[in-house]
Amino acid sequence: MVTSVYWMSCKKNELQELKADFSASTQEVKAGAEVVFTDVSEGQPASWNWVFEGGIPETSNLSTPTVRYDKPGTYAVTLVLKNGSQESVGTKEGFITVGYNDVNPDFEASIISALEGETIKFTDKTTGLPQTWNWEFRSKDGATVLTATQQNPEVKFMVPGIYTAKLVASNPKSSKEIVKTDYLTIIDKFSVIAEFESEATATYGGGQIQFTDKSIGNATSWAWTFEGATQTSSNAQNPKVTYPTAGRFKVKLVASNPVKSSTIEKESYVLVVPSSGLSAFFPFNGNVKDVGPSGTIGTVTGTIAFTAADRKSVTSNVAEFNGASYIVVNDHAAYNFGKGDYSVATWIKTNRTNRMLIWMESGGLGSKDNQTWLRLGANTTTQLIGFATEDAVSGSFLGMSEAEKGKMYDNVWHHVVCVRQGLVTRVYVDGVKAKEVTSTNGIKEVSNTGNFKIGAQEGATSFSNYFNGQLDDMIIYKKALSQAEITALFNL
């Protein structure tokens, strides 16, 4: 509403008289909204000087400015026109009325888990220009209720428990509340809940694993027990441990303070594979890291999930390929088998019968290229499993039927080990030798400068034969594993 309007004109010469006037796209807005002002003055102004009380910007020399109003209130607008010696000033008091928006309450806490006696700072995140704040913090049993009226209160919690936080934010137009149920955990200052994690849960004989204490509460001392480790116990908070021999080993942590203690044990937490001749080891425990001695790096194309359970029913411990994804490891000595002996072991689970590559060293140019690979499902009779060794001249191929344990599409975990020992290639399924063949074309030079692939076959211009299913614990040795060694891997 306009409460008053007044005009002033000054002139030195008899020119067409200026008379400042203007209009607005709206005179009533909510905070944060914009208003477009339009000059509707009489005469021919050469310059415009606007003053917007409460506006952003506060001034303008445009003929049609746009102004934002962030704070509720009633504001005047002034326009000063000039043309040569002429000047006209128009002011409209109370021309723009800015109202409140509806409040939309929100907040966050500096921490949501604290020891009794600690102070938590709460930060108001409400929109809509709240003017008052009413906070309530109520324990789950209802016995403790704390309140505050500051915008950003700091609250000290002296009683342990689970607390629900509520904020009622208000302005002259609206009031609204937000409730965050069981939002805060206030811990007995002597309470402790033991927990830990590690940089890896798999390694090889002689490898090290860094453990990190993740205990909740007031832990002041730590007693670790490492089954199978060189150092079977430690009082360090975050110890690094060496595992000398293969196996699956338990880890135990007792976290304590002078009043209380807590114990956590994780059975078969660490997997250690044999190190003799080991070249690479992909446990697929949530990632595609090679935790073997070479520490090579795999690059994923597409999407590989790590949520499914492994053969021991541990979740997030397998790589799940979707039929359009694969891993490439750049050419590295760890995979350059040449004419030497080698073994590649992996666990496979799938229900698909189509042609799929599990792993592939070098290759990429089709037949008569240096390469070796393990393939499933080339046909449904004699090549349910195929293990190839090839060079630029010829190759040696081992194909397996269902009677020869070649069936892999039953959606059950199977351990498949490919071994080359001189002229002989062998495939072991679930710890048992299923088939072997002897090359009649000599020992193949199976590596060149090509990369190592997991989950797809590389061609001259593209990839194909993508794997659809799950893989776990792919282990590569630069030696021919014996029956006893393969049995040991199968039983790990």
- Amino acid at site 370: N
pTM summary value: 0.69
Task: Say what the pLDDT of residue 15 is.
Answer: 63
- 455 and 381 within one domain: yes
User: Residue 352 above 50 pLDDT?
Assistant: yes
d(CA 125, CA 63): 38
In angstroms, how far is CA 407 from the centroid of its own chain? 36
280: exposed, middle or buried (Cβ count in 10 Å: 0-12, 13-18, 19+): buried
- 288 and 392 within one domain: yes
- 342 and 482 within one domain: yes
- 236 and 114 within one domain: no
- 235 and 154 within one domain: no
Q: Which residue has the higher pLDDT, 1 or 27?
A: 27
Query: Taking the CB of residue 315, how many other CB atoms lie within 10 A of it?
Result: 11
In this prediction, residue 245 has a pLDDT band, given cuts at 50, 70 and 90, of: very high
* Host domain of residue 85: 4-99
Question: 435-446: b or e for each residue (b if 16 or more CB lie within 10 Å)?
Answer: bebebeeebbbb
Mean pLDDT over 87-106 rounds to: 97
CATH of the domain at 73: 2.60.40.10
Domain end among 234, 258, 273: 273
Mean pLDDT over 76-103 rounds to: 96
d(CA 254, CA 128): 50
- 255 and 304 within one domain: no
- 112 and 88 within one domain: no
Cis before 57 (ω within 30)? yes
Domain end among 226, 254, 273: 273
- 454 and 340 within one domain: yes
- 361 and 441 within one domain: yes
pLDDT digits (tens, 9 = 90+) for 4-51: 444 444 444 456 799 999 999 999 999 999 999 999 999 999 999 999
d(CA 298, CA 64): 60
Domain end among 273, 294, 313: 273
- 298 and 377 within one domain: yes
* Token representation of residue 442: 């000599």
Per the structure, how many domains does the chain have?
Answer: 4
d(CA 222, CA 244): 23
User: Residue 380 above 80 pLDDT?
Assistant: yes
- 347 and 444 within one domain: yes
pLDDT digits (tens, 9 = 90+) for 118-156: 999 999 999 999 999 999 999 999 999 999 999 999 999
- 425 and 340 within one domain: yes
pLDDT digits (tens, 9 = 90+) for 300-327: 999 999 999 999 999 999 999 999 999 9
CATH of the domain at 480: 2.60.120.200
Task: Say what the pLDDT of residue 348 is.
Answer: 99
Mean pLDDT over 387-410 rounds to: 95
Mean pLDDT over 409-437 rounds to: 98
d(CA 149, CA 455): 60
